[in-house]
């Protein structure tokens, strides 16, 4: 009986103990784990937003905003008064897709060697019923970017109106930005990276 060369090769490998069927140590993942948590409460939404900014994760950032397809309310951003006057045409039709576009642009035009961070102070979280809450804080957003003349830091006051969707998951459905003193605000950063 004549044996095929393929069968002989397979038998030789099995008998040689080369270890092709032994388990190996798994490789470490290429990217770090996301800090995003299921937004089961308003404070987790804010934690997720802070993490999305630190991680520069556009998907997690947008996931903090209300989604009508999940039974959430329509998302609305109200810019600071100064930015609303200066960038009226930009903010006239601002929506969740505008947020995604701006954040993606900001991330793509940022320095990869520097960290971004959202710092919050004077925080107030006020429940307004079983499925809505109000959150207010002063903020400093640090975001090193490579675009000459654009701010690396903005400051202001934010107000979030949060609601729960039909699955009980919370998100921001109304975001009001306002300035503190003469500092550029988050609205200014959004407008400059919206194009």
What does the pLDDT look like over 86-133, one tens digit per residue? 999 999 999 999 999 999 999 999 877 789 999 999 999 999 989 999
Number of separate domains in the chain: 1
Quick: pLDDT tens for 131-180. 999 999 999 999 988 878 888 999 999 999 999 999 999 999 999 999 99
102 closest CA partner among 71, 123, 77, 129: 77
Asked if residue 50 lies in contact with residue 118, where contact means CB atoms within 8 angstroms, the answer is yes
152: helix, strand or coil: coil
Half-sphere exposure (Cβ direction) of 127: Cα atoms closer than 13 Å:
5
The pTM assigned to this predicted structure is 0.81
Could you read off the pLDDT of 32-49 as tens digits, one per residue?
567 899 999 999 999 999
Q: For the domain that residue 93 is a member of, what is the CATH number?
A: 3.10.450.50
Whole domain around residue 146: which residue ranges?
37-192
- Which two structure tokens, joined as six digits, stand for 136? 């207010």
Tell me the C-alpha distance between 71 and 170, whole Å. 11
- 26 in a structural domain: no
Residue 68 lies in a domain: yes
Residue 32 included in any domain:
no
């Amino acid at each position: 009986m004549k044996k095929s060369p393929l069968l002989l090769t397979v038998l030789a490998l099995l008998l040689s103990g080369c270890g092709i069927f032994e388990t190996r140590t798994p490789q470490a993942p290429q990217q770090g784990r996301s800090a995003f948590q299921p937004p089961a409460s308003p404070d987790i939404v804010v934690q997720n937003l802070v993490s999305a900014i630190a991680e520069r994760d556009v998907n997690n950032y947008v996931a903090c905003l209300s989604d009508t397809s999940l039974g959430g309310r329509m998302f609305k951003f109200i810019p600071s008064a100064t930015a609303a006057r200066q960038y009226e045409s930009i903010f006239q039709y601002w929506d969740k897709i505008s947020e995604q576009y701006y954040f993606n642009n900001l991330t793509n035009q940022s320095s990869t060697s520097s960290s971004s961070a959202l710092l919050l102070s004077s925080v107030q979280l006020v429940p307004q019923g079983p499925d809505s809450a109000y959150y207010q804080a002063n903020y400093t957003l640090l975001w090193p970017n490579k675009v000459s003349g654009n701010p690396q830091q903005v400051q202001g006051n934010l107000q979030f109106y949060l609601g729960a969707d039909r699955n009980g998951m919370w998100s921001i459905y109304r975001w009001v930005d306002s300035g503190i003193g003469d500092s550029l605000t988050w609205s200014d950063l959004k407008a400059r990276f919206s194009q």
